[in-house]
Structure 1
Amino acid sequence: MATIDLIVLGMLKKEALSAYDIQKLVEYRNISRWVKISTPSIYKKVLQLEAKGLVKSETVKEGKMAEKAVYSLTDAGEREFESLMLEISAKPIQIFLDFNAVIVNLASLPPDKQAACLTDIESNVKTLKSYLEENLHSKENAPEIPETGMAVLRQQLALAESIETWIASLKESFG
């Protein structure tokens, strides 16, 4: 998947990292909240990128720790990173929201179950919004958080707020 390739190559463009370090950065930056990426897919992806010659590994040992492979970009990886940046940014934007499968099928439920589904979605949006607000607040003055990371958090909050407004109006129309 090109998106996972771009995430991994982008992290390695900044610094050499082990697959474990990449996975920890994905968790810390909450990337899996807006891009479908899992821990196993990161490890698998690093090996695939190495097989393609886009990254190279070096085995390192730090103190009493076990040896680990640390990955860095090759020249081909640098070119692939730039190519993916241009390719993905030029694609039409698609927003996939899993709960839309529920929305398109609401009419097939009795009114009480429709209301329950909408209330659950509304609650989950509020939880997401609260999480994003807390995350933004905790990271807004952290120098290690890049401005682009903060921009994505603000984007996600704006989307959550928009969905919150939309779900409230949908509940009124079904109420």
Structure 2
Amino acid sequence: MSTIDLIVLGMLKDKAMGAYDIQKLVEYRNISKWVKISTPSIYKKTIQLEKKGLIKGKNIKEGNMPEKVVYTLTNDGEEEFKRLMLKISDEPINIFLNFNAVVVNLENLPENYQKECILKIEKNINILKGYLKTNIEEKKDNTEIPRTGMEVLNQQYVLSEAIEKWILELKEKLNF
């Protein structure tokens, strides 16, 4: 089981919904910015979770819309949700930053390329920070967004600030 299982089970714990609705909620909450999750993986995961008996699908037809499957948590799904919450919260924390592959190899480049790489990373951190700031502002008064979801946005913003500060220190150390 993985974090995607926990995301899907958690959303279904909140309310019954179809895979498309889960995918839209993942997009709206920007979950894919901080957890590796894709649209196809959500559809695949709902099928897997249903086969395992953790969720149950029911065909629903609303008006002229085509039939869709709406999922709810089973009792086993409720237990698995709790188990995953405890298991994942007890795992060592890893922060994977893809740009660190660039940083560890900087010394293998001429100085002008080193600068260019650092400036690109800095630009992208600034873009991320701006995006997070806007997102937080837009969603801060929205009661549909869970308080803990907002806290993840705040966490990401704090991390982007820390990385921004680190880049400034790195540029000083490298005399850029």
* TM-score for both structures, normalised by structure 2: 0.98
Note the alpha carbon deviations across 1:112-151, whole angstroms, 9 max, x for none.
0000000000000000000000001111111111110111
Partner of 2:55: 55
Letter in 2 for 1:146: P
- Superposition deviation, residue 168 in structure 1: 1.1
Identity %: 62
1:75 alignment counterpart: 75
Q: State the one-letter code of the partner of 1:57.
A: G
Given residue 45 of structure 1, which amino acid in structure 2 is its aligned partner? K
Give the number of equivalent residue pairs.
175
Q: Which residue of 2 aligns with 1:27?
A: 27
Q: What does the per-residue CA deviation read over 1:55-108, in whole Å, with 9 as the maximum and x for residues that have no partner?
A: 010000000000000001011100000000000001111100010000000010
5+ long unaligned stretches in structure 2: none
Separation in 1, partners of 2:144, 2:44: 27
Query: Alignment partner of 1:17: what SS?
Result: coil
Q: Specify the SS of the correspondent of 1:65.
A: coil
Residue of structure 2 equivalent to 1:128: 128
Q: Which runs of 4+ in 1 moved over 3 A?
A: none
What is the Cα-based RMSD across aligned positions, in Å? Answer: 0.6
1:164 and 2:164 equivalent?
yes
CA distance in 1, matches of 2:145, 2:4: 20
Map 1:65-144 → 2, pairs under 5 A: 65-144=65-144
Alignment partners' CA distance in 2, 1:85 and 1:32: 19
